[in-house]
Amino acid sequence: MNPEVPTTPQRHDAPTAGGDDDLARFFAEHNSSDGPDAPLDDAHHIGARLAKARTAAGLSQRGMADRIGVKESTIARWESGETSPRGHRVSKLAGMLGVSISWILMGRGVEPARDTASDIDRIRLELDSVRARLDDVVNELAVLDQRLASVDRA
């Protein structure tokens, strides 16, 4: 194995998992006046990181689109930097691709492994994707239950 190509996710100076306060402190410490080491958070760089993580996960644009419930053209627009995914999609993407949200948005945190994901990693990615879709279905069921209840009362 090549020592320059790590097989485990790499960490950068991301905020710890301590919640909103840690994220707020991180953003305050890393604003655009930080110079050349400032986080790269524009749409082009977010798209490049998404493409890198997708490739490392062994997914096509179509495969990723199917797993998170968007059109393939949406993935292409995200990766080209034409648009960026919204917050809830970023969270799903991070879970599915095995990277941190902060890595997708700013290039800091857990990044994708540089070689092909193992079978265990792929299964975990698929499990994360299924869980995200299940969350969507549960939310849709709750909305439908509320609508039905309001119609029943009328």
Residue extents of the structural domains in the chain: 37-153
Nearest of 114, 19, 130, 115 to residue 67 by alpha carbon: 130
Taking the domain 37-153, which CATH number applies?
1.10.260.40
Nearest of 92, 143, 102 to residue 13 by alpha carbon: 102
Q: What is the pLDDT of residue 127?
A: 86
Q: What is the pLDDT of residue 23?
A: 53
Give the whole-angstrom CA distance, residue 120 versus residue 131. 16
The predicted model scores a pTM of: 0.51
Q: What is the pLDDT of residue 9?
A: 42
| Lookup result for tokens 């948005």 | 105
- pLDDT digits 0-9 by tens, 51-99: 999 988 888 999 999 999 999 999 999 999 899 898 889 989 998 898 8
Four-CA torsion 47, 7, 23, 131, nearest 10 degrees = 80
- The widest CA-to-CA distance across the chain, in whole angstroms, is 68
Q: 65 near 96, Cβ under 8 Å?
A: no
- Residue 35: CB atoms within 10 A of its CB come to 6
- pLDDT digits 0-9 by tens, 97-143: 988 888 898 888 777 766 555 667 777 878 888 888 888 889 899 99
